[in-house]
A and B are shown apart, each in its own frame.
Chain A
Amino acid sequence: MNRVDNLVRMANQIAAFYQSMHDREEGLQGTFSHIRRSWPPGMRTALLDHIDHHGAEGLDPFVLEAITANRVEFTPRASATPRP
């Protein structure tokens, strides 16, 4: 499994938990927040690149919606030194 496929799988698994929340908005926020708070910038950038340039292939629409709604906060700020 390549790196992006693995990221997509992990994001989908996170969404699978939050999709069972009673309040859909809470689930979307939970999905975004969980990824934002636990993934380093490089992984978030790679997922955004997959969304922007590869049509978010394989990504659960719930994840896509969660990230799109919080795109600015999700996007890593430019780093002073190169990040992987």
Chain B
Amino acid sequence: MKKILKLFALLFCLFAVSACKADDTLVVYTEAGFAPFEYISEGKIVGVDVDIMNLVGEKLGKKVRFENVNFDVIVDTVAAGKLTKVGAAGLSITEERMQKVDFSKVYYQANLYVIYDISKEASLKHLMSDGNYGVYWSSLMTDKGIGVQTGTTADLFLSDEVKDGGLLEGVKVNFFSSLDTAVSDIGLNSDFVIIDELPARKLVEGKANLNCLPLYYQGEAGDELAFDEYAICVTKGETELLAAINEVLDELLQEDENGLTGIQALVNKHLGLD
């Protein structure tokens, strides 16, 4: 009996210690399937968001620990503020999310891209009014369906377009929890996958049968890109943390002598472009 009590006492001490430790550690929730913003490399979570949050940690004098979780639960957990107070996962700002959490500055603007099988290229590729090649939303009409990662901006855009009166009325949407799975479904149960530019580029890298192009809306004044803006979310009321994040973002958004922002430099680093 005494031994058991001792064991419990020991366990309690351990918990107490780890609880103390948690105080000087900043836990960040992310979904590490969104290269180059967060992805797994050599068993570690790395990416642009990771670099940003490490700088924030430095500023606050805290250790930063990343947790790879399902995209669905990030906003929720941050809103509750118990397990984590920060979510950095290439999150886009929506009205519903704004009611639950506070958002930092927008630190990246990304165009939506469509990933398709190369055999379909001829019927999709189109020279846009801005001189670049792209794909019109309206040419994504398909019987099979379009794949998206649940909760991403691509998902929100597409869900609007497939509703009655949308550009893609009646097209099926295939929801995936991971992008890799979504891409492996092309040709089987989906014809396209829609996602932001950089993850799209990473996903088609080294795959000979796949390609990706930006998505355009056919506007009256010309062709318009469909885009997405990223921000970091924090628990409501965490002003100190939010200020630190915004400070870091401000520094990173400044251009150097070559006109390159710190964020862009990080993006290039993770894309292997520098």
A and B form one complex: no
Interface residues of A (CB under 8 A from B): none
Interface residues of B (CB under 8 A from A): none
